[in-house]
Amino acid sequence: MTVERPLGCLACACQNQCLLGRQREAVRQRWSPHVAERSFHKGDRLQQQGRAAATFQVIKVGTVLALRSGDDGVERPVGMFGGGQLLGGMALLQRPEALSCQALSAGRVCEVAVAAVGTQALADAEFLFALAWECADINAQLADWARVVRIRSTAGQLAGALLQLASLQRSTLVRLPSHTVLATLLATTRETIARTLRQLGEQQCVVRHDRWHCEIHRARLLALAAGNPPLQKT
């Protein structure tokens, strides 16, 4: 794990998506001495449901899988997050985390020790108001993933999942998680995911660049997610 000082919000591509990056300059300057940047690896557990986080983090680069366990104690995927995503935010409200988060790829986070936030009185009323908006956005993202799972066809579900990935990666060139991750998230099988991805390629909804990347055709995927046949090529 590599820890270093970040170059600063103004040099960061995620500034407009980041809770810290969107703050006024005076607020960012108060937080800046306490912010460190570190790398993480695929498979790392970045947040644990039921535990108070020791650090408040914002993802700079990478994709994570959000998981939630119920009364049966079994963790199940409920969505995916990407750059700009807040992790450990509940610790600033002295609450345990509602979700676990596991890295699907290598990446980087900016983080601040929760203890420093308290001792330096960094979380003033203005910041807490922004934090509340961030939590509302997280709820909306989770609702979008729940909506995708409710689409009736597997093709529609996968189309919806690809649109969500394009949104969180802010690109029409989507880095795909493994077929196993997609299958678990959409409650189907790896074989079904592989077959449906091939079908989406044949219908010109996606263009596969390699095993891990595809270019999406947004309008065609939207039609599938809405339960309509793919738009005809013009």
Considering 118-127, 128-137, 222-231, the range whose residues carry the highest mean pLDDT is 128-137
Give the CATH number of the domain where residue 152 resides. 1.10.10.10
How many angstroms separate the CA atoms of 82 and 62, rounded?
Answer: 6
Residue found by looking up tokens 């999406």 in the block: 216
* 70 inside domain: yes
- Pair 79, 16 in one domain: yes
Contact residues for 81 (Cβ-Cβ < 8 A; gap 6+): 59, 63, 64, 66, 101, 141, 168
- Pair 161, 54 in one domain: no
* 104 inside domain: yes
Contact 168, 80 (CB under 8 A): yes
Q: Which domain holds residue 107?
A: 3-125
Tell me: pLDDT of 172 over 60: yes
Contact 137, 22 (CB under 8 A): no
Residue 215: pLDDT band by 50, 70, 90 thresholds?
very high
- Pair 48, 98 in one domain: yes
Residue 190: pLDDT band by 50, 70, 90 thresholds?
very high
Q: Tell me what pLDDT residue 16 has.
A: 85
* 216 inside domain: yes
CB burial of residue 222 (10 Å; 0-12, 13-18, 19+): middle
* 140 inside domain: no
Number of domains in the chain: 2
Tell me: pLDDT of 234 over 60: no
Q: Which residue has the higher pLDDT, 11 or 154?
A: 154
User: Any bridge partners for residue 130, and if so which?
Assistant: none
Q: Which residue has the higher pLDDT, 50 or 14?
A: 50
* 234 inside domain: no
Nearest to 93 by CA among 40, 129, 58, 41: 129
* 69 inside domain: yes
Strand order in 86-87's β-sheet? 3-4, 36-40, 107-113, 55-61, 86-87
Helices (H) and strands (E) in the chain, counts: 7, 12
| Mean per-residue pLDDT, 45-58 | 94
What residue type is 111 in one-letter code? E
- Pair 34, 112 in one domain: yes
Q: What is the mean pLDDT of the chain?
A: 91
* 138 inside domain: no
| Mean per-residue pLDDT, 78-99 | 93
Q: Tell me what pLDDT residue 173 has.
A: 95
- Pair 94, 176 in one domain: no
* 108 inside domain: yes
- Pair 19, 121 in one domain: yes
- Pair 153, 215 in one domain: yes
- Pair 105, 159 in one domain: no
